[in-house]
């Protein structure tokens, strides 16, 4: 069941099926588990979205939606969670991933730290401002710092997905217990007055 908070913010299954770009996937969009807001579906959707949002610099929503269908988790939550990487978070995220990968792989830094920061910022600027050639420039830059960056991104993506899953799961359980205790107190309170 979709809560009052979710209803106006997420598209309905019918709206997505009617979208001309999503028609090839329409037969998959009928699956009820993609739209259920339950603990497992939402926690799984967050994990999938965080994983692809951090790991993949393009087509994140498409990959997260595909994974949500395969893993039977909430599709809108998975798609929304990919927004963890956006123009504001991209530079620090990729810098942290590079530094983490550099530490884990034990390799000497390919580029000085100041140059890495400048290159990340330049890659983001190119990505945001230039339509043609931005991907090639991003790939060229990524190849320069390739292995440490890829290692760091994988570690960050897996860590964020695991933390996201268990955090949502724990919060969901805490909220459920709190609501249950509140109902029990209300029943006792009403029972004492009858």
Which residue ranges make up each domain of the chain?
13-85+158-188, 90-148
How far is residue 49's CA from residue 31's CA, in Å, rounded to a whole number? Answer: 19
* Beta strands per DSSP E along the chain: none
Least confident of 24-33, 117-126, 141-150: 117-126
Instruction: Give Cβ neighbours of residue 131 (< 8 Å, ≥ 6 apart).
Output: none
How far is residue 98's CA from residue 141's CA, in Å, rounded to a whole number? Answer: 12
61-92 pLDDT tens trace: 889 988 998 999 998 899 899 999 888 888 88
How far is residue 113's CA from residue 99's CA, in Å, rounded to a whole number? Answer: 9
pLDDT band at 2 (very low <50, low <70, confident <90, very high): very low
Indicate if the pLDDT at residue 163 is higher than 90. yes
pLDDT of 62? 86
11-44 pLDDT tens trace: 666 776 676 666 666 777 777 778 888 999 999 9
pLDDT of 148? 86
**Number of residues in the chain:** 194
Closest CA to 161 of 68, 95, 94: 68
pTM across the whole model: 0.71
- pLDDT above 70 covers what percent of the chain? 67
Count each helix (H run) and each strand (E run) in the chain, helices first.
8, 0
| 85, 93 contact by CB (below 8 A) | yes
Average pLDDT over the chain, rounded to an integer: 78
87-120 pLDDT tens trace: 888 888 888 998 899 898 886 655 556 565 666 6
How far is residue 92's CA from residue 99's CA, in Å, rounded to a whole number? Answer: 10
Indicate if the pLDDT at residue 170 is higher than 90. yes
């Amino acid at each position: 069941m979709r809560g009052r908070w979710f209803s106006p913010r997420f598209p309905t299954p019918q709206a997505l099926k009617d979208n001309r770009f999503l028609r090839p996937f329409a037969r998959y969009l009928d699956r009820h588990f993609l739209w259920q807001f339950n603990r497992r579906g939402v926690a799984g959707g967050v994990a999938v979205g965080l994983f692809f949002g951090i790991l993949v610099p393009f087509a994140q929503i498409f990959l997260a939606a595909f994974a949500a269908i395969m893993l039977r988790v909430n599709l809108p939550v998975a798609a929304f969670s990919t927004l963890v990487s956006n123009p504001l978070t991209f530079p620090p995220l990729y810098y942290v991933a590079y530094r983490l990968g550099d530490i884990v792989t034990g390799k000497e830094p390919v580029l000085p730290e100041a140059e890495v920061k400048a290159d990340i910022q330049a890659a983001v600027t190119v990505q945001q401002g230039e339509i043609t050639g931005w991907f090639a420039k991003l790939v060229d830059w990524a190849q320069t710092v390739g292995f440490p960056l890829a290692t760091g991104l994988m570690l960050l993506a897996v860590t964020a997905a695991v933390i996201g899953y268990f955090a949502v799961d724990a919060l969901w359980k805490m909220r459920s217990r709190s609501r249950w205790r509140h109902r029990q107190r209300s029943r006792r309170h009403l029972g004492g007055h009858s």
